[in-house]
Chain A
Amino acid sequence: MKADALRGHLDALLLATLDGRELHGYAIIEALQLRSGGALDLPTGTVYPALRRLERAGYVRSEWTTVSGRQRRTYQLTTAGKKALTAERAAWREFTTAIEGVLGSGPWPAKA
């Protein structure tokens, strides 16, 4: 899946990746690739400005911590981030249900 197709969904994908856990940047990238089966093809460098944008919006908070003996900036969801993720998931289900209804239902039955 190409980066342009992902651009509008990157924030929601990052929020979902951080759901229930605290991760550093590269672990977030690995989780995105793992969950998508390697289909998400976006420059990994774009993830970091997106995380900063989410932090500015109050959806994510970050801190420098020691992970496996190295200093890493780790990210976790805030309460506002959890609410935003819930809203994003509801909107996504509504969207996919509507699209599936049109695209997934096959040809119209022939007129009698």
Chain B
Amino acid sequence: MAGQSLIDDYVDALAARLRGPAALRRDLLTEARDSLHDAAESYLDAGFDPEEAQRRAVEDFGPVGRIAREYQAELAVAHGVRFVRSLLLLIPLVHGLWELNRLLWVGEGQPDWYRTVAQATDLTSWVLAGSAAVILIAFRWLARLIGDTRLVGRLTGAWSVGAVGVYGFSLLTVVVATAGVDPGLVLLSPPVLLATLVTFAVVARLVVLARRCFVLVA
């Protein structure tokens, strides 16, 4: 852009290549800009003219493509952690809604196969929630074990897609099973309809977040 300094151009080019959590992205770019200005001031103090000082500062910082790849890996990992946290929060919410429906509105006369489906869904939910909790608790240890940030991002992305696939399938199974017990329940009972809509919204949100895990690390 006309009137911009070389440092502004560089930071803009870097910003254009970065996607991910806004707060971390802003933080990384602010720090990069500060560092470039510090380096330019250092060259100015050494006697270089302002334009040459900025050119050297930008050159020292590194090719924008390479630097962007390293910054992007950080953003991808941060997004992956956000996904794992979201899953951990949403599972108890959805579970609570369906548990309430099963107790209050689906009634006592549930066939055995429905109980089996419900138990399988419960087990899936708690296994996923448990593994999400373990990932968050052990994340610092994992970061020490796997030094490559891009690999951490890819592994988090792979786990996210797998988790959302399994969780989405189990939730949709409950919706279909509930419709199988009494088709009217899903559409005519407001609490069951609410649980169904919340379930679809949660699955849609998790699919979007999981997909971004892969897009951001690509």
Those of A22-50 within 8 Å (CB) of chain B: 24-26, 29-30, 43-46, 48-49
Tell yes or no: B147 within 8 A of A by CB.
yes
Q: Is the interface of A mostly helix, strand, loop or mixed?
A: helix
A57 in the interface, Cβ–Cβ < 8 Å?
yes
Question: Which residue on A lies nearest to B28, using beta carbons?
Answer: A48
Report the minimum CB–CB distance from B22 to chain A (whole Å). 16
The residue in chain B whose Cβ has the minimal distance to the Cβ of A28 is B35
Complex Cα distance, B71 from A56, in Å, reads 14
A26 close to B140 (CB less than 8 A)? no
Query: Residue on A with the closest CB to B72?
Result: A49
Interface residues on B, range: 20 to 34
Chain B residues positioned under 8 Å from A58 (CB to CB): 140, 143-144
Give the residue of A25, A43, A53, A70 whose beta carbon is less than 8 angstroms from that of B67: A43
Assembled-state Cα–Cα distance A58/B137 (Å): 12
- The one of A11, A29, A56 that contacts B35, using a Cβ cutoff of 8 Å: A29
Any chain B CB within 8 A of the CB of A82? no
Q: How far is the CB of B65 from chain A (nearest CB, A)?
A: 11
Question: Contact at A44–B144, with CB atoms within 8 Å?
Answer: no
Task: Output the least CB separation between A95 and chain B (Å).
Answer: 18
Complex interface: chain B residues within 8 A of A45 (CB): 32, 35, 61-62, 66-67, 70
Taking the complex as formed, is B216 at the interface, i.e. its CB lies under 8 A from any CB of chain A?
no
Q: What is the CA–CA distance of A48 and B66 in the complex, to the nearest angstrom?
A: 13
Instruction: Flag if B143 contacts A44 (CB, 8 Å).
Output: no
Chain B residues with CB under 8 Å of A25's CB are 31, 34-35
Which A residues are in CB contact (< 8 Å) with B63?
43
State whether B34 touches A49 (Cβ < 8 A).
Answer: no
Check A56/B67 contact, CB under 8 A, given A48-B35, A49-B74, A72-B34.
no
| Cβ B140 vs Cβ A46 within 8 A | no
A40–B13 Cα distance when bound, in Å, is 26
Q: Does A89 contact B (CB under 8 A)?
A: no
Contacts of A53 in B (CB 8 A): 74, 143, 147, 149
Contact status B34-A48, CB under 8 Å: no
CA distance A73 to B63 in the complex (A): 23
In the bound complex, do residue A26 and residue B35 qualify as a contact, i.e. CB atoms below 8 Å apart?
A: yes
Q: In the complex, given contacts A11-B147, A25-B35, A44-B35, what are 14 additional A-B residue pairs having Cβ atoms less than 8 angstroms apart?
A: A25-B31, A26-B34, A43-B60, A44-B62, A45-B32, A45-B61, A46-B62, A48-B71, A49-B70, A49-B73, A56-B139, A56-B140, A58-B140, A70-B34
Chain B residues engaging chain A, CB cutoff 8 angstroms: 27-28, 31-32, 34-35, 38-39, 42, 60-63, 66-67, 70-71, 73-74, 77, 139-140, 143-144, 147, 149
